[in-house]
Structure 1
Amino acid sequence: MLIGDERLDHLLAEDLRIIQSPSVFSFSLDAVLLARFSYIPYQKGGRIIDLCSGNGIIPLLISSRTKVPIIGVEIQERLADMASRSIAYNSLADQIEILQQDLREVVPILGKGKNGFVICNPPYFAMDSTHVKNENEHLRIARHEVHCTLRDTIQVAADLLKQGGKASFVHRPERLLEIIDIMREYGLEPKRIQFVHPRIEREANTILIEGTKGGKPGVKYLPPIITQTADGEYTAQVRELLYGKE
C-alpha cells in the first residue's frame, strides 16, 4: 500500500485518508482553502475537473460534498499513483478518477466546452522569477511553472468549461492583476475574490478567485480569511476547515 517514506494521513473533517510523502508531495493549507472556496454542485451541473491535482487532495476533500463525477489531472506519474491509491483506499473509485496527463493535452480527452466546473491549484512561481528553485524534482514541478504556466492553466480551464461554467484558482496576490487579465482574455469573468492573511495585521499571502465562462462583469469580494492567531495557532475558522466542527 505505502511506498518508501509515504505515510497515511487522516483528513479529519471528511474522515478520509490520504497518502503523502515529505520527499514527493504533501498538500498545503492552500488546497484546503481552495476546496472550501470553490462552488461545488451536489448532484447536477456536469463533471468537476481538478487540474494540477497532486496527490488528489482536492478531489478527496470535495467528494463528501457532491455526487458529481470528479476527474483529477496530474502530470507526475508518482503523484498520480499516490492519488489513485488514496482513492482506492477510501473506496471512491466510482466517483473519482485520476488522469496522469499533461494538462495542456487534456482538452481533446475531456471535451472542449463540455464541463461544468474546473478547480486548479497551479504552480505559483514563474521559471524566470527570483524565487529559489527547489532541487527536489517533484517539489520543483509542483511549485514552479516547469510544465505549465499560469496562462496554460487558465486557457485550459476556459477551454474545458461550457458557457456558465465556473473555474476557481488559488494563487499569490502579487499575480492577481495578471490572473484577471488572462481570465478575461479567455472569456472567464472574475466573480468572487477572497484574500487570505497569515495574521490579522499581516498583508495577504494567498488569493482565491473564481470566474464564470461568459459571465457578466461584477465581482464580489468575500470577507478575508485569517489563518493564524497572534500566538501562531490556527484560527477557529481554519481549525473547522481542517478538523471539522469542535
Structure 2
Amino acid sequence: MSQDKKNAVARHEIFCTLEDVIVASNILLKDRGKLYMVHRANRIADVFCTMRKHKIEPKLIKMVQPNEKKAPNLILIEGQKNGGVFLNWENTLYIYNDKGEYTKEIKEIYGLI
C-alpha cells in the first residue's frame, strides 16, 4: 500500500468498499438501469458475487490485457439492476501490440486514428 494517503485512498478500499459502490448503485439505479465499472481482473469473483447479492446482474464483460503475452489486469463490466440471468463476453482488449505500440483498438478509443 502506498505511503501517500491520496494514492492509498484512490487505489485501495479504505473509505469506500466494492460493496459500498454496489449498494449505492442498487439504490440509485432504476429497474433495468445499467452500472458500468472497471475493476482489477483478480477481483472478478468478488465483483460478480457482490453484484448478484444486491440484484445487479452482470451482463457484459471485457477483459483488458497489457498485451497478448500477459494475463488480464482489468475487467470492464456492465451490470443491470434486476436484469435476467445471462452473461456475454466481448473480445479481449489488448493495450499494446508486439512492438510495444498501442493497438488499433486503443488508438480508435483515444481518437488517434
Q: So what's the TM-score if we normalise by structure 2? A: 0.94
Q: For 1:44-78, what per-residue CA distance to the aligned partner results, in whole angstroms no more than 9, with x for missing partners?
A: xxxxxxxxxxxxxxxxxxxxxxxxxxxxxxxxxxx
Deviation at 1:143, TM superposition (A): 0.5
1:234-245 matched pairs, under 5 angstroms: 234-242=102-110, 244-245=111-112
Deviation at 1:245, TM superposition (A): 5.0
CA RMSD, 1 decimal: 1.0
Report the counterpart of residue 128 of structure 1 in structure 2.
none
Structure 2 residue 58 is matched with structure 1 residue 190: yes
Q: For 1:148-188, what per-residue CA distance to the aligned partner results, in whole angstroms no more than 9, with x for missing partners?
A: 11111111111110101000111111111111111001000
Report the counterpart of residue 202 of structure 1 in structure 2.
70
Structure 2 residue 5 is matched with structure 1 residue 137: yes
Q: Distance in 1 between matches of 2:22 and 2:100?
A: 34
Identity %: 35
Structure 2 residue 77 is matched with structure 1 residue 222: no
Q: So what's the TM-score if we normalise by structure 1? A: 0.45
**Residue type of the partner of 1:209?**
I
1:171 to 21, 33, 39: 39
Equivalent residues, number: 113
**Residue type of the partner of 1:224?**
T
Deviation at 1:201, TM superposition (A): 2.1
**Residue type of the partner of 1:170?**
V
1:80-119 matched pairs, under 5 angstroms: none
Structure of higher CA gyration radius: 1
Report the counterpart of residue 59 of structure 1 in structure 2.
none
**Residue type of the partner of 1:138?**
K
Deviation at 1:204, TM superposition (A): 0.7
Give unpaired runs (5+ residues) of structure 2.
Answer: none
Q: Distance in 2 between matches of 1:182 and 1:220?
A: 18
Report the counterpart of residue 117 of structure 1 in structure 2.
none
Q: Distance in 1 between matches of 2:69 and 2:8?
A: 31
Q: For 1:29-56, what per-residue CA distance to the aligned partner results, in whole angstroms no more than 9, with x for missing partners?
A: xxxxxxxxxxxxxxxxxxxxxxxxxxxx
Bigger RCO (CA 8 Å, 6+ sep): 2
